[in-house]
């Protein structure tokens, strides 16, 4: 069975699409067959970050409405044979996405032997976000270490507990916390919440901590998800998160300020 993972958040602009792209690439790099779906009807961002925006012919809505087959709409990634992108429609309105349409696409992907389906949720708690989470088996809740992001995540946790298919069936959907744009320096000066603060408020298991890094924007501009940049701390942190998602035990990295050693201080390295 395909495992359906929703990447969601309360507040917008916290790093869901960045995360969806990197998690999908990371799973594919480990040989998994992965589809990543953009649920953000009207905006279309995922294909840009994945670097396939010029190859979008048919989108998610075309498939849900029977105007194209799944095969026609799935864009095969140039780097990994087992990775496929389903882009959002830029022109249709948000009501074009229906529960039945989404269910059909997910079922067809499952029948096609996909191991993972990553659903990139739009911001907020409206229909698109609800549809992105409804069929999920697992949730990654993306949070930035600031009060407004944490507060809005609480609302999403409430929805994950009550408005998903698993909730309706009486099953639990254990949400995973992914803390992104973490800046240990700003935590130390009290400008940002610490990992412990966020974990305590939300009561969630932490899947990963992604440091704030200029590499993320560079990667997006190039259409190369940051996880492919293994020199980058953000890329490495995403790779750790993917390993944890697959059951590996990895220590958290990049959570404290790197203290410069004696020699690098001396020589200014």
Ligand X SMILES: Nc1ncnc2c1ncn2[C@@H]1O[C@H](COP(=O)(O)OP(=O)(O)OP(=O)(O)O)[C@@H](O)[C@H]1O
Q: How many residues bind Mg ion (CB under 5 A)?
A: 3
Looking at the DSSP assignment, which residues form a beta bridge with residue 37?
86, 119
Query: Does 153 sit near ligand X (CB under 6 A)?
Result: no
40 binds ligand X (CB under 6 A): yes
Helix (H) or strand (E) holding 75: strand 75-76
Tell which residue, 204, 190, 207, 203, has the closest CA to residue 145: 190
SS3 (DSSP) at 170: coil
DSSP state of 120: E
Q: What is the CA radius of gyration of the chain?
A: 18
Is 9 among the residues that bind ligand X (CB under 6 A)? Answer: yes
Nearer to Mg ion, 124 or 195 (CB): 124
- Contact call for residue 181 and Mg ion (CB under 5 A): no
Give the residue, chosen from 17, 176, 213, 236, that forms a contact with Mg ion under the rule CB under 5 A: 17
- Using the contact rule CB under 5 A, the part of the chain among 45-53, 65-73, 134-142, 179-187 near Mg ion is 45-53
Specify the residue, 15 or 184, whose C-beta has the smaller distance to Mg ion. Answer: 15
Q: From the CB of residue 265, how many other CB atoms can be counted at a distance below 10 Å?
A: 10
Strand partners for 118:
5, 36
Smallest separation (angstroms) from Mg ion to the CB of 11: 12
Minimum CB separation of residue 149 from ligand X in Å reads 10
Neighbours of 264 (CB within 10 A): 11
Please tell me whether residue 18 binds ligand X under the rule CB under 6 A. yes
Q: What are phi and psi of 27, to 5 degrees?
A: -70, -40
CB-nearer residue toward ligand X: 45 or 82: 45
149 is a contact residue toward ligand X (CB under 6 A): no
176 binds ligand X (CB under 6 A): no
Out of Mg ion, ligand X, none, what residue 181 binds, judged by CB under 5 to 8 A for its kind, is ligand X
Among 4, 6, 15, 153, binds ligand X (CB under 6 A): 15
In whole angstroms, the minimum distance from the beta carbon of 69 to ligand X comes to 27
Phi, psi of 239 (to 5 degrees): -65, -40
Residue 228 CB neighbour total at 10 angstroms:
20
Nearer Cβ to Mg ion (48/228): 48
Helices (H), the chain: 16-29, 46-50, 60-64, 70-73, 99-111, 127-134, 147-162, 165-168, 184-188, 195-202, 214-222, 233-245, 262-267
Closer to ligand X by Cβ: residue 122 or 175: 122
Residues near Mg ion (CB under 5 A) are 16-17, 45
Binding site for ligand X (CB under 6 A): 9, 12-18, 40, 45, 122-123, 180-181, 210, 212-213, 216-217, 220, 234
């Amino acid at each position: 069975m395909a495992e359906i993972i929703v990447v969601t958040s309360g507040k917008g602009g916290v790093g869901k699409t960045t995360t969806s792209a990197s998690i999908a690439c990371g799973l594919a790099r480990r040989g998994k067959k992965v589809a990543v779906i953009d649920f953000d009807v009207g905006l279309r961002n995922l294909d840009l970050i994945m670097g396939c925006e010029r190859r979008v012919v048919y989108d998610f809505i075309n498939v849900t409405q029977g105007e194209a087959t799944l095969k026609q709409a799935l864009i095969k990634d140039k780097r990994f044979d087992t990775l496929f992108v389903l882009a959002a429609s830029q022109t249709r309105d948000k009501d074009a996405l229906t529960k039945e349409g989404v269910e059909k696409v997910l079922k067809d992907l499952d029948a096609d032997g996909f191991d993972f389906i990553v659903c990139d949720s739009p911001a907020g708690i409206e229909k698109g976000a609800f549809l992105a989470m409804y069929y999920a088996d697992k949730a990654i809740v993306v949070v930035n270490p600031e009060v407004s992001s944490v507060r809005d995540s609480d609302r999403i946790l409430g929805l994950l507990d009550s408005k998903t298919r698993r909730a309706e069936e009486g099953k639990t959907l254990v949400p995973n916390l992914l803390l992104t744009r973490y800046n240990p320096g700003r935590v130390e000066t009290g400008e940002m919440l610490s990992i412990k603060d966020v974990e305590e408020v939300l009561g969630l298991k932490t899947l990963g901590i992604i440091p704030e890094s200029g590499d993320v924007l560079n990667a997006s501009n190039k259409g190369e998800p940051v996880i492919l940049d293994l020199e980058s701390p953000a890329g490495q942190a995403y790779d750790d998160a993917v390993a944890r998602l697959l059951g590996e035990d990895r220590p958290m990295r990049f959570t404290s300020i790197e203290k410069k050693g004696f020699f690098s201080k001396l020589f200014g390295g």
